[in-house]
Amino acid sequence: MLGATNLSDDSRAPLLIHSVADLRRWRRNALMAGKTVGMVPTMGALHDGHLNLVRRARTSCDLVVVCIYVNPSQFAPHEDLDQYPRTLQQDIALLGGSAKDAARQTDASATGCLADVVFAPSNESVYPDGITTVRKDQRGAFVEVLGLSHQMEGVTRPHFFRGVATIVTKLINLVQPDRVFFGQKDAQQCVVVRSLIRNLCLPVEMTVVETTREQDGLAMSSRNRYLTAEERQPAIALYKALRRAQTAYLEGERRRSALMELANAEISAAPNVSLEYLSLAHPRTLDELDNIGEDGAIISGAIRMPSARLIDNLLLGCEL
5 CB burial (10 A radius; 0-12, 13-18, 19+)? exposed
Nearer to ligand PAF, 22 or 186 (CB): 186
- Restricting to residues 174-193, name those near ligand PAF by CB under 6 A: 186, 189
For ligand PAF, the closer of residues 292 and 320 by Cβ is 320
- Separation between Cα atoms, residue 214 and residue 95, nearest integer Å: 20
Q: Smallest distance from the beta carbon of 3 to ligand PAF, in angstroms?
A: 28
CB of 183 to ligand PAF, least distance (A): 7
- How far apart are CB 185 and ligand PAF at their closest, in Å? 8
Pick the stretch among 52-60, 148-156, 161-169, 287-295 that binds ligand PAF (CB under 6 A).
161-169
Please report how close the Cβ of residue 90 comes to ligand PAF at its closest, in angstroms: 16
Residue 211 per-residue DSSP state: P
Of 105 and 188, the one with the shorter C-beta distance to ligand PAF is: 188
Residue 181, judged by CB atoms within 10 A of its CB (0-12, 13-18, 19+), counts as buried
Instruction: State how far Cα 293 lies from the chain centre.
Output: 28
41 binds ligand PAF (CB under 6 A): yes
Task: Report whether 209 contacts 53 (CB < 8 A).
Answer: yes
294: enclosing H helix or E strand: none
Binds ligand PAF (CB under 6 A): choice among 13, 143, 164, 302: 164
Which phi and psi angles does 180 have, rounded to 5°?
-120, 150
For CA atoms 116, 122, 203, 102, the dihedral sign is: negative
- How far lies 247's CA from each of 8, 125, 242, 254, in Å? 53, 47, 9, 11
Q: Which amino acid is at 306?
A: P
Task: Identify which of residues 71 and 279 has a Cβ nearer to ligand PAF in the complex.
Answer: 71
- Asked if residue 279 binds ligand PAF (CB under 6 A), the reply is no
Exactly one of 15, 16, 23, 42 binds ligand PAF (CB under 6 A); that residue is 42
52-91 residues in contact with ligand PAF (CB under 6 A) are 71, 74
Q: Is 167 in the site for ligand PAF (CB under 6 A)?
A: yes
Binding mask 189-228 for ligand PAF (x = CB under 6 A): x---------------------------------------
| Helix extents (H) in 19-145 | 20-32, 48-60, 88-94, 123-126
Residue 168 Cβ vs ligand PAF, minimum distance, rounded to whole Å: 6
Least distance (Å) between residue 68 CB and ligand PAF: 9
If one asks whether residue 49 binds ligand PAF (CB under 6 A), the answer comes out as no
Nearer to ligand PAF, 41 or 301 (CB): 41
One DSSP character per residue, 142-187 reads ----TTTSSSTHHHH-TTHHHHHHHHHHHHHHHH--SEEEEETTSH
Q: Is 248 in the site for ligand PAF (CB under 6 A)?
A: no
Catalytic residues, by residue number, are 50
Residues numbered 88-147 forming contacts with ligand PAF, rule: CB under 6 A: none
Nearest to 173 by CA among 53, 41, 275: 41
Residue 279, by phi and psi: left (phi above 0), alpha (psi -120 to 50) or beta? beta
Interface ranges with ligand PAF (CB under 6 A): 41-43, 71, 74, 164, 167-168, 186, 189
